[in-house]
Structure 1
């Protein structure tokens, strides 16, 4: 805090406490005009209720005086009066550092044990899952939701099924979290509107979804432009994050309009790298939790 701000804070503290102390000392001595019956003359309910005037009770005066004393002691012991650091040398940063150190002291043995197991086995450890859930909700839920169900608007995949863009092994999930992923679906508007419509119907046919058979037949040869990424069978590729088109799981929605937009305009997907924010141990714990989301039965049997 600069000297100017320090003086301003000190001025405000002195001003507020001075006014409050003045009112506290003046209040018991203030002379309030009263009627012979000891009331102020203010009435309510057509005279049924009258405002009485009484001295402040002694307990209230003593209690208020003790609060003033406590305030002066606090300003002496702790920061708050401008740049005064307080006689105890207490700081919020120091308090946080002590809390973090104490928490880390408890976590270190636990994390050391977690390092002994692969991610798949760690997914069956209740303590790892408890920690992973907290880390997931703090870092991943904004896109994938707290439930892990994903978000089609953002193109964040559902993590609770067993359909993986880049592979679902523990190692694959750790890589996705540690390094991030970047997926690009190029636009195919250059094929022409009719061809895009036909291609959409063929893509729908791959998963057995309702489709226009004639357009799907016309669109099949056009799929050769997509096979480089999605494969000739449409089952996708984990190597480049091309989704499987033969199931009923859709990253950006599976309606005719959704698929048309994907084919016509293309899509951009970005999973940020979490290595700058999370430690390697934390990433493995999150990966174990994510693995558990899609393998609850497998994880519980380990």
Structure 2
């Protein structure tokens, strides 16, 4: 801090500690006028309660004195009196650096062990899962939620099920985190409003959802436009990130309005690449945690 601020802090310390120390020394010696019965003359409840005057107990005097001694010792050993660094030379930056170094040393030994196993096996390691959970909450939860259930508003998929846009193997998940993913569903409003509605009904029929059979039949020939990405059977294509349309899992919502909007206006999704922020070792641990989330028994899933 600047010299001016240093002197201001020193002034406040001297003022506060000096005032309280003076009161500590003066208080036990102060002469308070008292009545013959030993009270101060202050009464309450029509004289039923009277204020007595007693000397401070010895334990209070000794404890308060010890607090002043501790305060003076602290100011001598640690920073607190302006720019005086303290006899020990302690700094918060140094304390943080030591803590980071100690944590890095502990983490390095774990990381070396983690390198020995594939992601699928690492997903069963409690230490790796603990580290992966922290990495997930710090970097992924903003879009996928802490529960990993995803967010339809953002188009962030549910990571706790076994449905994958780009593959759910350890290598696939690692690649998704490391390099990121970009997906584009082009808008098909050019088909016309009625055709978009018919096509939406056919898409609903693929998953066995309630639908209008007549409109679905009219929309079936139009699905040839979609088959290039989603496949003729609507099973999707993980190489392209085209979702499976035959299940009941919807990235942007499965209502009639949601599907019509997806077809008519298109969708764009982007999973950012995390390799600039996370090391390769951290990405592997994070991939193991995500893999673990989707391979738990249903009762244990978040």
Task: Give the TM-score taking structure 2 as reference length.
Answer: 0.88
In structure 1, what is the Cα distance between the partners aligned to 2:19 and 2:273?
55
In structure 1, what is the Cα distance between the partners aligned to 2:186 and 2:7?
61
Change (3 A) 1:254 1:65: same
Matches within 5 A, 1:36-55: 36-55=36-55
Change (3 A) 1:113 1:17: same
In structure 2, what is the Cα distance between the partners aligned to 1:58 and 1:270?
71
Cα shift readout 1:204-248 (whole Å, capped 9, x = no counterpart): 111111111111122223333333332332222222322111111
Give the alignment's Cα RMSD to 1 decimal.
2.2
1:269 aligns with 2:269: yes
Change (3 A) 1:81 1:240: farther
Structure 2: gaps of 5 or more residues: 298-302
- The equivalent of 2:197 in structure 1 is 197
1:225 aligns with 2:225: yes
In structure 2, what is the Cα distance between the partners aligned to 1:54 and 1:60?
13
1:130 aligns with 2:130: yes
> More displaced, 233-242 or 28-37?
28-37
Paired positions, count: 297
Structure 1: gaps of 5 or more residues: 298-302
The secondary structure found in structure 1 opposite 2:183 is strand
Cα shift readout 1:71-103 (whole Å, capped 9, x = no counterpart): 122122111222222211111222122222222
In structure 1, what is the Cα distance between the partners aligned to 2:24 and 2:190?
81
- The equivalent of 2:10 in structure 1 is 10
- The equivalent of 1:300 in structure 2 is none
- The equivalent of 2:300 in structure 1 is none
Q: How far off its partner does 1:46 sit? A: 4.4
- The equivalent of 2:165 in structure 1 is 165
1:115 aligns with 2:115: yes
Moved >4 Å (runs of 4+)? none
Change (3 A) 1:15 1:258: farther
Q: How far off its partner does 1:63 sit? A: 1.7
In structure 1, what is the Cα distance between the partners aligned to 2:183 and 2:18?
64
Q: How far off its partner does 1:45 sit? A: 4.2
